[in-house]
A and B are shown apart, each in its own frame.
Chain A
């Protein structure tokens, strides 16, 4: 029996790296950027400008004009290019200066930073990489079939800036089983995390908490819920969430994503689509998406209060009932590491499972029975052997 020294445990916190994660980051719904105006996005410690070019493609550039530093996000769109408000230099979505109206020739090095974009399922993504490499094909964001189907609602979308907190705090939620009970009002019966490659997943089956009613205005009885939620890369989570009622399944897809503004603030966004139940109007389906979204919003608002006030802690003191916080952070670290320095342990498969469906007593009894049966069998064969020797 060893006893730990009776001294207070110190919270350790390494300096926050002044770099931003490698990977796809969702900036919001693409339709919101398609109004013919430039949009300012503060992300990755920089100012970006987003606009729709002449081909209808969304483009993202560093917002500061390389001529005299004018802010392109305050400019205008001319012929599909972004025009600086300072001297009207025209920049194309490829990052090249296309025209200087008062000059016959564009200087040779007139090139600014452009960001690879992905416009998929109604959302705009940018690829961030501190090393400047192109997107990694294996890390493409999976397509969400419901997002482009008439059988599903359109996105119901929320966006909120969180100040005074690093975005790591929200990623920690993936492993925090206990918080589902308190924040999302569900009682897990099965919980599992799997980290492999660039994907971190949370599987969860649950039953409704008896003390808190889940949105169901038509008297249908909730039997349970199933959720498979994966971070594809550092910041974009797709959650396939199904509520099972006695009248049928209620299917939804939740997005939980963020992009860092700087190392001490981020923009949290979440969206929801639901499969329109048979025989209900589109308005009713949308209303249920809004209901569910507001329910989730209330949950996040509680998280936000915690994040704003908590300490950054690199040596959390965990009990056996806690989830795999260290292993999740080890996985997350790959996105803050030069690609050549990513260690195997950051991407190798890790599983953490909590299966409450099989009562512990029953299982323990089964093992005891097996052991007893084996002992009996061994005793019997030993006796038989002794018999044959005699």
Chain B
């Protein structure tokens, strides 16, 4: 039995792709996208996931099955990237 692998890309990335952002703490490089002030998407890649110190500290999870919720250092790095204009906030771009 062969498997058909069809993975479609998110239609929303056609007009507004993700932007690279590096974490100031561990140097992990992720792709990020903010559709609004409230919304953030983060795509990690395997090697960078391993770099993340907070994730490492959370593994293995204290309670079996509790997933790592997210990295506070990266959150700060994302905010700074917004400040520097490296990570656009899409609703803001529309308003301009």
Contact = CB atoms under 8 A, between A and B. Distances in A.
Given A19-B3, A338-B2, A348 B49 contact: yes
Contacts of B36: 320, 360
Interface in B1-52: 1-12, 35-46, 49
Given A315-B11, A318-B12, A330-B7, A143 B38 contact: no
A238 B69 contact: no
B41 A352 contact: yes
Of B6, B7, B66, chain A has the most CB atoms within 10 Å of the CB of B7
Interface residues of B, number: 37
Interface residues of A, number: 56
Interface in A15-66: 17, 19
Interface string A185-206: 0000000101010010101000
A192 B67 CA distance: 12
A374 B35 CA distance: 25
Q: Which applies to chain B's interface (DSSP): helix, strand, loop or mixed?
A: loop
A317 B8 CA distance: 12
B8 A314 contact: yes
B23 to A, nearest CB: 13
Given A194-B67, A329-B7, A348-B46, 14 more contacts: A14-B4, A131-B1, A318-B12, A324-B41, A336-B3, A338-B3, A341-B5, A344-B46, A349-B42, A349-B43, A350-B43, A352-B42, A358-B38, A360-B36
19 contacts: A142-B64, A194-B67, A317-B11, A320-B12, A329-B7, A333-B5, A343-B7, A344-B45, A345-B7, A346-B7, A348-B43, A348-B45, A348-B49, A350-B44, A353-B40, A354-B39, A360-B38, A367-B82, A374-B83
Interface of A: 14, 17, 19, 130-131, 142-143, 192, 194, 196, 199, 201, 203, 228, 230, 232, 238, 314-318, 320-321, 324-327, 329-330, 333, 336-338, 341, 343-346, 348-356, 358, 360, 363-364, 367, 370-371, 374
